[in-house]
Each structure stands twice: as structure tokens, then as C-alpha cells.
């Protein structure tokens, strides 16, 4: 079940080939806390994801 305000429709697309790109959702770039584990889903269009990091 998607977390409200953290859906694909709420996200800002990353359209660059960049190692320092930050995922954002409308008004935030932080992940929700306090709800236990979360599952990430990546939607790619004509691209490849080689790695990601959560810091």
C-alpha cells in the first residue's frame, strides 16, 4: 500500500545521469519515519538503475 504523499504521482522525475541526484516528493526529500520498514519501487523509462543509497 503506498504511503500518502510518497506516490509516483507525487514524485519529481530524475532526468539526469547523475550520481548525486536526490529523490523528492512534492515538498520533501526525506523518507517517512516511525512506520516500520518501507519498500521502495523504482519506475524507469529508457534507463538503467545501477545503484542507490539511503543516507
- pLDDT of the residue at 54: 85
This prediction has a pTM of 0.74
- pLDDT of the residue at 9: 95
What DSSP string runs through 1-55? Answer: -PPTT-STTTEEP--S--TT---EETTB-S---SS---------SS---------
Q: Which residues of the chain have pLDDT under 50?
A: none
- pLDDT of the residue at 12: 93
Amino acid at each position: 500500500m503506498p504511503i500518502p504523499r510518497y506516490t509516483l504521482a507525487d514524485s519529481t522525475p530524475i532526468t539526469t545521469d547523475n550520481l548525486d541526484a536526490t529523490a523528492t516528493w512534492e515538498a520533501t526529500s526525506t523518507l517517512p519515519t516511525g512506520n516500520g520498514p518501507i519498500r521502495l519501487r523504482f519506475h524507469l523509462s529508457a534507463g538503467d538503475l545501477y545503484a542507490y543509497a539511503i543516507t
